[in-house]
Amino acid sequence: MSDLPRKAVTRTAKLAALPLGIAGRATWGFGKRIVGESAELVGRELQQRTADQLFKVLGELKGGAMKFGQALSVFESALPEEVAGPYRAALTKLQEAAPPMPTRTVHGVLAERLGEDWQELFLEFEDKPAAAASIGQVHRGVWHDGREVAVKVQYPGAGEALLSDLNQLSRFSRLLGPLIPGMDIKPLITELKDRVSEELDYGLEAQAQQSHAEEFSQDPDVLVPQVVHQSDQVLVTEWIDGIPLSEIISDGTPEQRDRAGQLLARFLFSGPARTGLLHADPHPGNFRLLPGGPDGEDDWRLGVLDFGTVDRLPGGLPDTIGESLRMTLDGEAESVYELLCAEGFVRETIELDPDAVLDYLLPIIEPAQVEEFTFTRGWMRSQAARVADPRSPAYQLGKQLNLPPSYLLIHRVTLSTIGVLCQLGATVRLREELEEWLPGFLPEDPVDDEMPAAEA
């Protein structure tokens, strides 16, 4: 029996109450202003109350509602500070915690999927969950061969709950829009729905995680736990300790922040090049900072968890991304525009000024223009404000650009990762990672092309 609210009507009622609550608090705020309280003070109280209710409901429901909250949480850096403050604590709660399943439910799933004698597979198994997420929770244990393991158990009924929540959330996506100014919430929810069946399939997740684990097995900077066992609704992997990235964001040292940011950027761009897969769920709960990097115990490695959502890119990230980025940095407006048109970023029915497109892109790629760049919430907010202000030329141009479906997940993952870098306040040598891992970013060396002829 699922500990998720079992009846669709119960979950729908909880979610449907959100817009009513938001409207009620807006009326309350209007009344407070009538009696003379300042709009700024009332606005902050209103945001706090809205945040409290929104994320309380999302966290309780798990499923698609919590998945949506986690997806939103990485964009927190884009919010104006007076809005971000009330939301920040509530958002980060979704990155690491959710109410647990009853022990009897966990044991029932394990018995059904691993066999009635499932306890014989473990030397130890902790009933209290070590972590919880949108569709399952993780228990710590010791496998029969002595390895410490993480046992991921899927919530019964998670698939139905996931779709139900996301369908309901999409119905009032406009009301949720103000959470992230300048961002269209509906495509985000649509994309999350498109990934539901894939994320529920622990077989696919095991394959993606094992591919990364094998590729990064000797890597001094990145650690991916090996898969130990997999069956429907249960995934057993090696356990890794470490500091959750959410704790580095709140309490980390400058050295930890910079190191975490550098490794996060490295993993974002090197993963597709090395495995043909893009880890597509970059919220802080899926990363750990572990001691024992290339310079010894005082250095750090990045531990990467949760491969339930990946983008399959057999050739790595598309060359178009690197080529357009390089040409933008070089100021080649016409060439950039032609490439964007060819790839469908500009619809055939629309004609734009190439120089205006270049002006739109340059501020966004500022981190790639310099040897190292410090990502800050202020910088992220300035970018969000630039494209969200209807009076801004960037807003008018951005409305006319198109995001082809094949780039949608890449775009969200990149934005999400930048959001986490801004939460970290990390100073990162991003250009170094682009030169090393991003196809098309460095121009082809004509000397290499001529080598066979010269040798002949």
User: Which is it for the CA torsion 3, 6, 12, 13, positive or negative?
Assistant: negative
The pLDDT score that the predictor gives to residue 436 is: 96
User: DSSP assignment, residue 373?
Assistant: E
* pLDDT level of residue 29 (50, 70, 90 thresholds): very low
The pLDDT score that the predictor gives to residue 132 is: 75
The pLDDT score that the predictor gives to residue 94 is: 52
The pLDDT score that the predictor gives to residue 135 is: 78
Contact 165, 64 (CB under 8 A): yes
* pLDDT level of residue 190 (50, 70, 90 thresholds): confident
Least reliable range by pLDDT among 35-49, 276-290, 311-325, 345-359: 35-49
* pLDDT level of residue 334 (50, 70, 90 thresholds): very high
Q: What average pLDDT does the segment 160-171 reach?
A: 68
The pLDDT score that the predictor gives to residue 79 is: 58
Distance of alpha carbon 85 from alpha carbon 150, whole angstroms: 34
**Amino acid letter, 282:** P
Least reliable range by pLDDT among 82-96, 273-287, 343-357: 82-96
Q: Is the pLDDT of residue 330 over 60?
A: yes
DSSP for 260-281, please give it.
Answer: HHHHHHHHHHHHHHHHSEEE--
Q: What average pLDDT does the segment 269-296 reach?
A: 92
Q: What average pLDDT does the segment 339-347 reach?
A: 93
Contact 271, 212 (CB under 8 A): yes
The pLDDT score that the predictor gives to residue 456 is: 38
User: Which is it for the CA torsion 315, 317, 323, 326, positive or negative?
Assistant: negative
Q: Is the pLDDT of residue 285 over 60?
A: yes
The pLDDT score that the predictor gives to residue 14 is: 54
The pLDDT score that the predictor gives to residue 98 is: 54
Distance of alpha carbon 195 from alpha carbon 218, whole angstroms: 31
Contact 433, 266 (CB under 8 A): yes
Look at residue 327 and give its three-state secondary structure. Answer: helix
The pLDDT score that the predictor gives to residue 372 is: 97
Q: What is the pLDDT of residues 45-56, one digit of tens each?
A: 544 555 555 555
Q: What is the pLDDT of residues 91-131, one digit of tens each?
A: 555 544 456 788 999 999 999 999 999 999 999 999 999 98
The pLDDT score that the predictor gives to residue 404 is: 84
Q: What average pLDDT does the segment 57-76 reach?
A: 55
- Using alpha carbons, list the distances in angstroms from residue 215 to 208, 314, 344: 11, 15, 33
Contact 234, 153 (CB under 8 A): yes
DSSP for 92-135, please give it.
Answer: HHHHH--PPPPHHHHHHHHHHHH-TTGGGGEEEE-SS-SEE-SS
Q: Is the pLDDT of residue 78 over 70?
A: no
The pLDDT score that the predictor gives to residue 274 is: 97
Mean pLDDT for the chain overall: 80
